Every structure is written in C-alpha cells, then in structure tokens.
Amino acid sequence: MSRVQTIRIGSDEADQRLDRWLKKRFPQLTQGAVEKMCRKGELRVDGGRVKANTRIETGQEVRVPPLPDAAPAPKTERPRITDSDAAMIEKAVIWKDQHIIALNKPPGLPSQGGSGQGDRHVDGLSEALKFGYKEKPKLVHRLDKDTSGILLLARTDRVARGLSEAFRHRDTRKIYWAAVAGVPSPKMGTVRYGLVKAPGHGRGGEGEKMIAVLPRDIDQTEGAKRATTDYAVLDNLAQRVSWCALVPITGRTHQLRAHMAELGHPIVGDGKYGGSGQENLGDGWGAQLGGEISRKLHLHARSLSFTHPVTKERITLTAPLPDHMKRTWKTLGWYENDVPADPFEEAI
C-alpha cells in the first residue's frame, strides 16, 4: 500500500473529471474504488469532499488515500508516428532552445488525447520532438482543437514546473487574433461575464458548452467561475466583420469564444458558439460570412510573452496565421504589419 499523497494539479492536467485524472495516475484503480473513496470522504480536493465527476482545475491539491500497489504493467509499444506526421509536427516548431520548444499548432489538431479526440494529437506526436533528448517534451498549457497558434512544451520536468507556475500565476501574456461578426462597441473594452459549464450530450460529456453568467449572478450560480477578457478592434469591414485582438486575463474553457458570442460578435467559423441561427450585431449571420471565407474557426494564439524559467530572460514569440486565416485577411484587405503587436500597451 502507498502512503497518503497530496498532488497539485498542473496546467496540463486541469479541466478534466477527477475520476479520469485519478485513473490515469493510478491505473490499478477501478471506477467503483474511486466512487467509494469519494463517498467515504477519503479523496478530497483542497480539503473538501468531492464526487467522482468533479472537475479539477490548475493549482488545486488532491488528497489521495493509501492505495494498493499497481500490478506490473505489460510492456506495450508506443504507437508509431508516420513520417508525414513527424514532418508536420517538426515543421510546426517556430522556436526552441535547450529547455523549451514552441509550436505554431495547426488548426484541427488536439493538444492532447481525450473524449473523441483519437490518437493523433500534439502530446502523442511530441515523440518526434525529442531532438536528441531521452524523453519527449511535455505540454504545459493547451489550445482548443480548432484554435491555432503558439503552444509551449517543456523539455525537462524542472522547466515544466517553472512554466506551469508562470501560467498559474499569470506571469505570461497571450494575445489572440480573431475575426468576429460585426463590430464591437466600444472598440476597446473588457468582458467580465462569468462562465458555467453546461453538460454535453454524449456519454463522455462530449458537446460541453460554457454558458455566460452576468457578474452580479456569479456568486449565486452553482459552478460559475469569474472570467475576464480584454478585447480591441484592430480593423473592420464596415459593420460586417472585425479583426480583434483578445487577451484572456483568466483561462477558462472556451473563454474567448463564449465571451465574444455573448457580446453578440461570435468568432467566424465557431459552430458551437456562433451558429447561423444566433442573433448578433453582425446582422444575424451567426459566425458564417459565406462567400470565399473559410468555415474553419478564425481564432489564433498570435503571441506569447513569458519569463524563461532558466535564463530569466523575457521571451516574446509570434506565430504566423494559419492558411485559412491568411486567405480571409487577404480577402478582407487586412495586413498583419499594419497593427501594433500589443494594442493594449499602445492605449495606455
């Protein structure tokens, strides 16, 4: 039997069910054993009683009671990465040193495995990113499957812990670019709607969606969490569509997508939060503009600034737009070099 353990949730482990997280960590546990520990109060999060389906968040501490020893795991071969996938993920590298690898993640590629995601994801493909190291690099944060842009991987456990702490304590600055329906007014502002998760329709929770909650109602809404997003309009085509910079001050699931939709300006190509039936200030089209504009999600993690956990340098990385957004920008007459790297600093 093991001893009582207290485990802190890392940023790459957050936003998943407690039972699934626990069984990944301790494969010898059955679902029945997890639920029994919850009923008896032996399994706790931040000192409180929990249920098996409680969702865990970055920085929380999980108390794990003594567990039976795991049986020796059978030797399994890691799935082979195809040459084309290896070439694709290597081509996505935009910066690296001895400690960190930065990718420009393509849209449509999940950050890691999960319900309905299959076996092809950044975490799995990172086997091709060892570059002479014995272990593959570790994800320290995530992007939604359909969101492109900068994604960091740590090449050692020490650096992974340092970067995770930086994200947890918001010592990073992420700026996203998005095309949104209509033109937000005012052209620069802050969204403070809380977010609460609505259950999905599938057995594994597929189809989950975040519902916006007015700030005054957050404390009275079970499961609601405060969320803050800064936005700035960089350019627009009449009142039809805008190029926006978005900064997530907090890091909730689907935060940028849900916040922009709640403002009435859903992100172009966002079928979950901006379907064509939704009324909004973009003349009621939802997030589809038609014509030559791609139906893919137009949300891109454009830049990321962070303090290097080893060298202590301030690093700022920029990721080029994916092909479908480049085509949209060309169609709308928008040029990347015509806008400031950080419009919020320009406004101060």
Nearest to 13 by CA among 60, 49, 48: 60
The β-bridge partners of 241 are 181, 237
Return the number of other C-beta atoms located less than 10 Å from residue 139's C-beta: 25
Q: Which of 144, 171, 235, 338 is catalytic?
A: 144
- Cβ atoms of 300 and 175 within 8 Å: the answer is no
Could you identify the residue written with the tokens 């009582």?
4
Annotated catalytic residue 144: yes
Contacts 24+ apart (CB under 8 A), 337-344: 338/235, 339/234, 339/235, 339/243, 339/245, 341/175, 341/303, 341/316, 342/173, 342/175, 342/245, 342/303, 343/188, 343/232, 343/234, 343/245, 344/188, 344/230, 344/232, 344/245, 344/247
What amino acid positions are annotated as catalytic residues? Answer: 144
